[in-house]
A and B are shown apart, each in its own frame.
Chain A
Amino acid sequence: ETGVTQSPTHLIKTRGQQVTLRCSSQSGHNTVSWYQQALGQGPQFIFQYYREEENGRGNFPPRFSGLQFPNYSSELNVNALELDDSALYLCASSLKDSRSGNTIYFGEGSWLTVV
């Protein structure tokens, strides 16, 4: 039990639609990151939010966007869904307070299927 909760667990969307995925961070964590994991692959970094601002971004197009709220919960929004967006989306929270990094804790993920 990591204390990171994600919703929904599974969802199916049609190509071209938009989706919002939600994440509640572990208590006390001020940083949230989102990862995309395609079947059979390792997670790929999408972006990170720290104190409500985007703090780093991976190689994903602008139709992937996010928000972090004052309580450090977060949303991932994906517009104009494509078939290749079908994946497990993982949220991870951590406490950003040192250069050496801290443990990042993952939620159970949201399975997105685009048809």
Chain B
Amino acid sequence: SQQGEEDPQALSIQEGENATMNCSYKTSINNLQWYRQNSGRGLVHLILIRSNEREKHSGRLRVTLDTSKKSSSLLITASRAADTASYFCATGPSGTYKYIFGTGTRLKVLA
């Protein structure tokens, strides 16, 4: 079963707009990671945020984490057609080293 749930399941925006994806999870975690996956390919790591952090930035990416609400968000600013992909959050539950993935958000950026 999936612990994480991304929302929305699919998102279509125009190039230059911002894209926001949300992730909810169920148990306490050590950290949360966001990944991008282009069709049929491997997962590309985007950002890791630890449970004691609230916000992290990397280039056009901004990730927030609210452990009280068991949720995280990924913001992609000034989106580009090349950002078209599926985005997954992966949570690392406390006390384990396995990661649990959500079902992903399929982002389509229209040129």
Contacts and interface: CB of A to CB of B under 8 A. Distances in A.
B101 A108 contact: no
Given A106-B43, A108-B41, A108-B42, A56 B104 contact: no
A99 B48 CA distance: 14
Contacts of B98: 33, 45, 48, 56, 58
Interface residues of B, number: 27
Interface string A78-115: 00000000001010100010011111111111010000
Given A101-B92, A103-B33, A103-B48, A90 B97 contact: no
A104 B31 contact: no
Contacts of A48: 97-98
Interface stretch (A13-21, A36-44, A61-69): A36-44
Given A43-B88, A100-B30, A55 B97 contact: yes
B68 interface: no
Contacts of A43: 43, 88, 90, 101
Nearest to A88: B40
Contacts of B41: 108-109
A97 to B, nearest CB: 11
A43 B2 CA distance: 9
Contact of A2 (B33, B42, B103): B42
Contacts of B101: 35, 42-44
A69 B59 CA distance: 37
Contacts of B104: 42
Nearest to A59: B1
Instruction: Select the residue from A35, A44, A101 with max chain B CB neighbours within 10 A.
Output: A101
B100 interface: yes
Interface centre among B97, B100, B101 (most CB of A within 10 A): B97
Nearest to B95: A99
Interface of B: 2, 4, 30-31, 33, 35, 40-45, 48, 50-51, 88, 90, 92, 96-104
For the complex of A and B, list the 8 residue pairs with the smallest distance between their C-beta atoms, beginning with the closest. Answer: A42-B101, A108-B42, A106-B43, A45-B98, A101-B92, A101-B31, A101-B30, A106-B42
